[in-house]
Amino acid sequence: MHEGPWWRRDGAAVVQGPMVDLYQSLFCRYIYDEHKGDISRRTLMAVARYQQISEDLTRQISSGALPVGSLLPTEMQLMDGYDASRNTVRMALQQLQARGLISRRRNRGTMVEAVPGGAANFIQSMSFDDLVTLASTARRQIVGSEDVVLDTAAARLLQCQPGSRWFRLSMLRGVAGKARPLGWTDAYVDPHYRQVGDIAADQPDKLLADLIESHFGRRVEGVEQTVSACAVSEQMAQSLGAAKGTPALRVLRHYRDAARALIIVTSSLYPESRYSIVTTLVRSR
């Protein structure tokens, strides 16, 4: 007999003893901002079903409804409780397992091993530690945020789909003791996670990717980085404390999950001599 939490369906809701609503927000994808009001469901990017389940289970682990050491419901119970296929449930569990939140063993079941909150671990040909170090040493100052729809020119610049909707955070990064900022970053976040703006303001030394994982359960598995040369525009000159036309580096990063869906796109501008990128190339044979 399964000794973990029991699940059953009560009308349209799935409940777990004692009677609690497990995932009210799972089907309510409106995100409310007290300053701007409701955002139409059409402004939100589609969230995969397995990701919805993963997020809900992450919330239960965080709240203690599924404490460390307890067993998750069986796959069949999860399939029934979420009205999902076996493959969808397994993909959700794989996300939790990849984060170290659960372990799965034959004849034992799926056990909760840890609560969310740790920084993401990445295995990349280029070290992700460089981004973590940048975040911790060059703290961000958010100077603006808004919902945007990419026109053709912006989509081409960001290598995204024209007409796609994002929540944009505009920020300066600065290093203690330096009068001029290190650079300027526009971060385009999946609108489903627009609340990360408030969280990021309170934790200026954390990567947005880490904050989204720890608070929402969406894990970044890969970062694609494109570096190009450009010049500081008149619009950016004053904010960056650089003359118009100063040579600069433009760094475009695409943060993707395991299914290669975009979670965050960042476009950063660094005037000359303020930031450098070192790449090590190794012979394959």
Average pLDDT over residues 72-83: 92
| Residue predicted with more confidence, 53 or 114 | 53
Reported confidence tier of residue 282, pLDDT bands at 50, 70, 90: low
What are the structural domains, with CATH classification, of the chain? Answer: 7-112 (1.10.10.10), 129-271 (3.40.1410.10)
Full DSSP string of 81-144: HHT--HHHHHHHHHHHHHTTSEEEETTTEEEE---S-SPP----SS-THHHHHHHHHEEEEEEE
CB 184 within 8 A of CB 239: yes
The pLDDT of residue 222: 84
What phi and psi values does residue 20 have, to the nearest 5 degrees? -140, 150
For range 267-279, the mean pLDDT? 86
More confident residue, 194 or 276: 194
Q: What is the pLDDT averaged over residues 81-90?
A: 91
Q: Say which residue, 41 or 79, is predicted with more confidence.
A: 79
Rounded Cα gap, residues 82 and 53, in angstroms: 8
The per-residue pLDDT for 62 is 87
In our burial notation (b when 16+ CB lie closer than 10 A, e otherwise), range 181-204 reads bbbbbbbbbbbbbbbbbebbeebb
116 pLDDT band, cuts 50/70/90, is confident
Once rounded to an integer, what is the mean pLDDT over residues 252-277? 90
- Interval 183-200: pLDDT, tens: 999 999 999 999 999 999
Amino acid at 124: Q
In this predicted model, which residue has the larger pLDDT, 81 or 276? 81
The Cα–Cα gap between 20 and 192 comes to 24
Q: For residue 68, what is the enclosing H or E element?
A: none
Peptide bond just before 18 cis, omega within 30 deg: yes
How high is the pLDDT of residue 13?
44
Per-residue model confidence as pLDDT tens digits over 137-147 = 678 899 999 99
Comparing 47-51, 75-79, 88-92, which segment has the lowest mean pLDDT? 47-51
**Interval 111-115 mean pLDDT:** 85
Which pLDDT score is estimated for 108? 75
The pLDDT value given to residue 129: 56
- Global confidence as pTM: 0.59
125 has pLDDT over 80:
no
For 51-68, the pLDDT digits (tens) are 899 999 999 988 889 988
